[in-house]
């Protein structure tokens, strides 16, 4: 879900001096796809849970099983985390529907 600029967004993308804000990195990925944009042309940021600052989303490490605003489960970290995945893998998982908002995937990841 796209949101207005605030201090509560978890991710953003910038292109051509215009910035869009999102409440969940999954929403940002879907918005990029729906608007036929290319990741390499964008400046992407995500809020880092370990350093509490906005970092380059393409360089972040992601946990896949966390509580996020839209329940997709992807949280960014600046430092590597056990069982973390890359931005490219988060993108693939989102586009395939392999996220915690999908009940089958949630059960597979959490085991309940």
Q: What is the pLDDT of residues 15-57, one digit of tens each?
A: 888 999 998 999 999 999 999 999 999 999 999 999 999 999 9
Please compute the mean of the pLDDT values over residues 73-86 and round it to a whole number: 95
- Strand, helix or coil at 92? helix
pTM attached to this predicted model: 0.88
pLDDT at residue 8 above 80?
no
**pLDDT for the residue numbered 17:** 87
Measure the CA–CA gap between 77 and 112, rounded to whole angstroms: 26
Two tokens, residue 54: 């906005």
- Is the distance from CB of 60 to CB of 28 less than 8 angstroms? no
| Domain count across the chain | 1
**pLDDT for the residue numbered 88:** 97
Range of the domain at 38: 2-110
């Amino acid at each position: 879900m796209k949101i207005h600029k605030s201090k509560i967004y978890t991710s953003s993308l910038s292109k051509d001096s215009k910035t869009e804000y999102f409440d969940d990195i999954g929403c940002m990925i879907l918005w990029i796809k729906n608007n036929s944009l290319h990741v390499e042309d964008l400046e992407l940021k995500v809020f880092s849970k370990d350093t509490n600052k906005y970092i380059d989303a393409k360089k972040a490490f992601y946990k896949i099983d966390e509580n996020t605003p839209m329940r997709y489960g992807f949280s960014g970290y600046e430092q590597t985390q056990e069982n973390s995945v890359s931005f490219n893998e988060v993108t693939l998982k989102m586009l395939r529907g392999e996220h915690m908002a999908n009940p089958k995937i949630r059960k597979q990841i959490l085991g309940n």
